[in-house]
Amino acid sequence: MSVRGITPGYRDEKRARTLVTPEGLALPITIAPRTTRAGALIIDVMIVMFTLIAFILIIYNIAWGLIEGTGLDLDDMSKGALEFLGICLALFVFCFWYGYFLVQELGPRGATLGKRIVGIRVAARGGTRLTPEAVIARNLLRDIEIFYPLVFLYSLAMLADRGEPIGVLGWVATGWFALFLLFPFFNRDALRAGDVVAGTWVVERPRAKLAKVLSTEGAASAAGSSEVTGVRYAFGEAELSIYGEKELQTLERMLRDSPPEALQAVHATICRKIGWDPGAGDERAFLEAFYAQLRAKLEADLRFGRRKADKFA
Amino acid sequence: MKAPVLSSWFGRGQVEASPDIESAALRSDRFRLEREGEWKRLEAILVRMEKGGLRRIADDDLVALPTLYRTAASSLSVARETSLDAATLAYLEALVQRAWFQVYGPRMGFVRWLRGFIFGGWSRAVRELWLDICIALFVMVAGTIVGWLLVAQDEAWFFRLFPGGRSDPRQPGASREELLQVLRHDEGAAGLAGFAAQLFSNNSGVCILAFALGFAFGIPSLMLLVHNMALMGVLLWLYNGQNLVVELAAWLSVHGTTELFGIMLSGAAGLHIGRAMAFPGKLPVLEAAAAAGRRSAVVMVGVVIMMVVAALLEAYPRQLVEDTGTRFMIGGTMLVFWLSYFILYRPAPRPDAIATPEAAA
């Protein structure tokens, strides 16, 4: 749920990257934060684990039913049925373990269920096509990054529990685990080992809804006047040349999502800046009119190649 | 003030009527209002594509997709030069990016990829790894010899290297009869399918491990190969003591030619990545690793298939066929099959088939 940034200014500059499409258009993309990815992984592992446990329980119950059905007489029961259950179990575990990530990341969303929930997806680094080979490569490495070290540490802990000497092995395993687990922290793009090998990275899924047109409503529209006072606000050249694009877009954001109390403060600030006497009760209409006229001026300048980045420019 | 998440859950399907174009005070907003119908159509197509693939989409929508994508892309570049509406710009950027993921996304489904993989892609990838395969083969032979020599010098190594417990009949000092017994078949075919499934998931796990370990410059992959092959050297030494090497070799060859081939390929695939990272050549390290990783991943899918074959061979023919000559024949046939598939089978790559890493990069 991290992509709600309306303006590029919202984004974390460190995670912003540019992707150049074959049409030569530069698109901003954002690298997914490490915490989000960890969250996605935890969700995915939970889903896999619970599915596998459920499946094993079902198989176990069926097998138990089989054994009970024969009156606990092991010679009497059908070996074929139990064997079939065993095959189902072994194949299901293998296929689900590897297939869960593979099939979903190859799909049109490029994300597993966990990634979808947190709003990220896999993409090929450098704006190339995401290929099946890349998805396979990045998922094959997941095992050594997380699961083998965990299993290994667990078995070491069990050994130590029984009083067997494990010596330096535990430290080696811990170091190994740390090396791969912390790998994303040692590079700019938060790549894990699998991403390095596959040439992929994990980016935030863009999800912006088309917001309303501001210049058609209220006091911002062409012939708009305040609903409260019926006044039509008009600003002069000097008053409109104080602010730049940055302030304009901040004002836009406030008009779209801020509560009236916040608008009062903005209203007061702007009035002070342009030397008007701040009234009260008609802030929204004032700000809408100011926004529309400021934008009209700045966009007109833009067409002549003059940009004013912010009020200091 | 707004609850975007909730509104996106409950507000689906309600399409808000666009305001009248003439009422917009700003030229850039009129620009937007004139085009937003097309943007919304593109968005609707994208939502459907992301949900369920291509089948649910009407043909004319699919035909329109590239055009709509280009329209949105050109709208974005115009809007960047003329509009200061941050919300519209962010929307267009997100829309073009989403469309880009679909238009330039994975071009083929898994089935089509698999077909290209079996008819040419796999053997091509294996041939691309020839140097690593040679190294892996050398390391495996060396590992076998090391295992043999170690045990020949000091029998204590046997128990260190061989995983079987004390109840395993295969121990130094075992009689010829005991050793032969292991090589015989079990009774009937019962239990063999389960055995095959177990073998498969076990061996595939080992192969994936050998591949994945290659990330650490390939050295752990080689160590794993040495370790596994030292075991074989130990076994060979044990059977050699009773002059049973030929029988053992026949017993192993049934599935071994496939399984060891697969293990060699996975070790080579791991080594390939490790080598690309240690000696990236002219490419940057990351690009070299990615290119090597994609090549190796293709080989690894093949290794999983080989493990399926090996498990089936190990469970059925090896347990059911007892004759040394026949065992050699099965194993030899498999070896010849794999070698000719990898070396002699060279169909011309279809232009739209598997994108080689070079072409993709």
A90·B212 Cβ contact <8 A: no
A210·B91 Cβ contact <8 A: yes
> Which residue of chain A is at minimal alpha-carbon distance from B298?
A133
CB nearest to B23's CB, from A93, A222, A257: A222
pLDDT of residue A223: 60
B23·A5 Cβ contact <8 A: no
CB nearest to B1's CB, from A79, A205, A259: A259
> Which residue of chain A is at minimal alpha-carbon distance from B89?
A7
- Distance, CA of A91 to CA of B276 (rounded, Å): 33
CB nearest to A133's CB, from B36, B86, B294: B294
A27·B93 Cβ contact <8 A: yes
- Distance, CA of A157 to CA of A233 (rounded, Å): 75
The average confidence (pLDDT) of chain A is 80
B25·A222 Cβ contact <8 A: yes
| Ordered mean pLDDT values, 10 residues apiece, chain B (361 residues) | 45 54 74 87 87 74 87 89 86 89 73 83 91 93 91 82 66 75 59 68 79 80 85 85 84 86 91 89 87 89 87 77 84 92 83 44 34
- ipTM tops the 0.85 cut: no
Asked whether the beta carbons of B260 and B313 are under 8 A apart, the reply is no
Q: Tens of pLDDT along A94-126?
A: 888 888 998 888 888 888 999 999 999 998 887
**A218 pLDDT tier (thresholds 50, 70, 90):** low
Which residues fall within 8 angstroms of residue B11, CB to CB, at 6 or more apart?
Answer: none
Which of residues 51 through 110 in chain A touch B, CB cutoff 8 A?
79-80, 83-84, 86-87, 90-91, 93-94, 103, 106-110
- Distance, CA of A144 to CA of B285 (rounded, Å): 21
Q: Chain A residues with CB inside 8 Å of B27's CB?
A: 299
A108·B49 Cβ contact <8 A: yes
What average pLDDT does range A149-175 have in this prediction? 76
pLDDT of residue B339: 93
- Distance, CA of B131 to CA of B271 (rounded, Å): 10
pLDDT of residue B271: 92
CB nearest to B294's CB, from A29, A121, A199: A199
**A225 pLDDT tier (thresholds 50, 70, 90):** low
B293·A197 Cβ contact <8 A: yes
How far from B4 is each of A164, A211, B167, CA to CA, in Å?
Answer: 57, 11, 67
**A193 pLDDT tier (thresholds 50, 70, 90):** confident
pLDDT of residue B141: 93
B96·A25 Cβ contact <8 A: yes
Asked whether the beta carbons of A130 and A200 are under 8 A apart, the reply is yes
pLDDT of residue B204: 80
Q: Chain B residues with CB inside 8 Å of A31's CB?
A: none
A94·B201 Cβ contact <8 A: yes
Q: Which of A294, A174, A184, A296 is nearest to A240 (CA)?
A: A294
Residue A38 clears pLDDT 60, i.e. is over it: yes
A5 touches chain B (CB under 8 A): yes
CB nearest to A302's CB, from B33, B82, B208: B82
CB nearest to B94's CB, from A129, A196, A208: A208
Please report the sign of the dihedral spanned by the C-alpha atoms of residue A72, residue A76, residue A79, residue A81: negative
Q: Taking the CA atoms of chain B, what radius of gyration do you get in angstroms?
A: 30
User: Which one is predicted more confidently, A228 or A148?
Assistant: A148
Give the DSSP H or E segment for A250.
Answer: helix A245-257
- Distance, CA of A52 to CA of A99 (rounded, Å): 13
A219 touches chain B (CB under 8 A): no
Q: Chain A residues with CB inside 8 Å of B208's CB?
A: 140, 143
Choosing among A31, A100, A181, A216, which should be mutated to test the B contact, i.e. which has the most B CBs within 10 A? Answer: A216
Which of residues 245 through 284 in chain A touch B, CB cutoff 8 A?
245, 248-249, 252-253, 256-259
B73·A93 Cβ contact <8 A: no
Structure tokens at B50: 């992301």
pLDDT of residue B134: 94
Which of residues 226 through 245 in chain A touch B, CB cutoff 8 A?
245
Highest mean pLDDT among A46-60, A174-188, B241-255, B275-289: A46-60
Which of residues 118 through 177 in chain A touch B, CB cutoff 8 A?
121, 123-126, 128-134, 136-138, 140-141, 143-144, 148
pLDDT of residue A270: 86
Q: Chain B residues with CB inside 8 Å of A144's CB?
A: 209, 212-213, 215
Q: Chain A residues with CB inside 8 Å of B33's CB?
A: 213, 216
A45 touches chain B (CB under 8 A): no
B93·A25 Cβ contact <8 A: no
